[in-house]
Amino acid sequence: MVKTHQVAQEQEQEQEHEHEPQTNHKRDQNQEEEEEEEEEKKKKKKKKKKKKKKKKKKKKKKREEERRVGRGTVGKITLDNYKRVE
């Protein structure tokens, strides 16, 4: 009877040890998924920032162009040849 009790305890311990790696594996898998999600968020944020910067640069260029042309005035100056148009 003592041997069967010991064998049963050993089997229980082995089963417990088998379950631990699965939970660790699952935890690792969840952690990897979270890291991937964070990377995606960073990429999206970076892309959005880049797009915003590009838009701002384009707006600045347009503003500069309008300033040089003299938008809305009677004697406009064209960008093509910088000659006065009447």
- At 23-39, the pLDDT tens digits run 677 788 888 899 999 99
- 69 pLDDT higher than 60: yes
Q: How many domains does the chain have?
A: 1
User: Which among 61, 77, 80 is positioned nearest to 69, based on CA atoms?
Assistant: 77
Q: 15 lies in a domain?
A: no
Q: 5 lies in a domain?
A: no
Count the neighbouring beta carbons within 10 Å of the beta carbon of residue 69: 15
- 40 pLDDT higher than 90: yes
46-62 pLDDT, tens digit each: 999 999 999 999 999 98
| DSSP annotation string for 38-68 | HHHHHHHHHHHHHHHHHHHHHHHHHHHHHHH
Q: 53 lies in a domain?
A: yes
Instruction: Show the domain range for 56.
Output: 27-84
